[in-house]
């Protein structure tokens, strides 16, 4: 099964990438300030947008399997390697905190006219080339301590897929509740237009 519209290969990737980039730009992720604000826990837009994408994708894959339109064997599930995940997470996290972008948002930023997005993307490009050239020396570390082979979270925990979806939905609902914007109160007395006091001095100006 190939999506969308029976396109396959680069065409499907370009189409989905364009839609994803448009969504990121509309969410305000073309600005590096958005992601750094998330890391400071002052703006939860990044979490809400990306977690919504995770929920939609996970629910869609579950429904496709439930309806018999896609087999689980058709989904590539990589094996987790402990040291590779730890070092990669630290490196990518530090880069996002310092630069304010992830790989996808750096492209969106550059296409929106921001030079810092281009600089960040070039850093990713040259860093990837450098890592690929040095991989044979770091390969033993990258492939050390492999986790369970090709297991989903539900398979790892031994629970049904729908229970994981409910748990993800509960996490999203809890974060949305605790980070909701405070209710806007009406104008207070201190901000109301001042009135002249009823004194003889005030009346003398009338």
Query: pLDDT per position in the chain (206 positions), as tens?
Result: 455 455 667 787 788 888 888 888 888 888 888 889 998 999 998 899 889 989 999 999 999 999 988 888 888 888 889 999 999 999 989 999 988 998 889 999 998 889 999 999 999 999 999 999 999 998 998 888 888 887 888 888 899 999 999 999 999 999 999 998 776 655 555 444 455 455 444 444 44
Q: State the pLDDT at residue 184.
A: 62
Q: State the pLDDT at residue 164.
A: 93
- Give dist(CA 101, CA 32) in Å, integer: 6
Q: How far is CA 89 from CA 36, 93, 105, 140, in A?
A: 16, 6, 17, 18
Q: State the pLDDT at residue 80.
A: 86
Domain boundaries, the chain: 78-147
Between the two ends of the chain, the Cα-to-Cα distance in Å is 83
At residue 71's C-alpha, the angle toward residues 70 and 75, to 5°, is 90
Q: How far is CA 55 from CA 97, 167, 171, in A?
A: 25, 10, 11
Q: State the pLDDT at residue 169.
A: 94
Nearest to 166 by CA among 181, 178, 153: 153
HSE-CB at 62 with a 13 A cutoff on CA atoms is 16
Q: State the pLDDT at residue 202.
A: 45
- Give dist(CA 26, CA 19) in Å, integer: 11
Q: Both tokens of residue 57?
A: 């994708």
- Give dist(CA 131, CA 164) in Å, integer: 35
- Give dist(CA 169, CA 59) in Å, integer: 10
Q: State the pLDDT at residue 17.
A: 84
- Give dist(CA 194, CA 25) in Å, integer: 44
């Amino acid at each position: 099964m190939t999506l969308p519209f029976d396109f396959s290969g680069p065409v499907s990737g370009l189409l989905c990438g364009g839609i994803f980039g448009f969504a990121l730009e509309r969410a305000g992720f073309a600005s590096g300030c958005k992601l750094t604000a998330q890391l400071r826990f002052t703006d939860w837009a990044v979490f809400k947008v990306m977690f919504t994408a995770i929920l939609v994708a996970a629910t869609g894959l579950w429904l496709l399997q439930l309806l018999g339109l896609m087999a689980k064997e058709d989904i590539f599930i990589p094996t987790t390697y402990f040291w590779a995940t730890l070092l990669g997470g630290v490196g990518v996290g530090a880069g996002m905190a310092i630069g304010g972008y992830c790989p996808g948002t750096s492209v969106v930023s550059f296409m929106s006219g921001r030079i810092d997005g281009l600089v960040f993307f070039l850093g990713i490009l040259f860093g990837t080339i450098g890592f690929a050239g040095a991989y044979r020396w770091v390969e033993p570390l990258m492939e050390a301590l492999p986790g369970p082979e090709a297991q989903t979270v539900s398979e790892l925990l031994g629970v049904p897929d729908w229970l994981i979806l409910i748990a993800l939905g509960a996490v999203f609902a809890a974060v949305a509740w605790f980070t909701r914007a405070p209710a806007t109160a009406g104008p207070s007395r201190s901000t109301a237009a001042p009135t002249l006091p009823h004194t003889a001095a005030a009346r003398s100006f009338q």
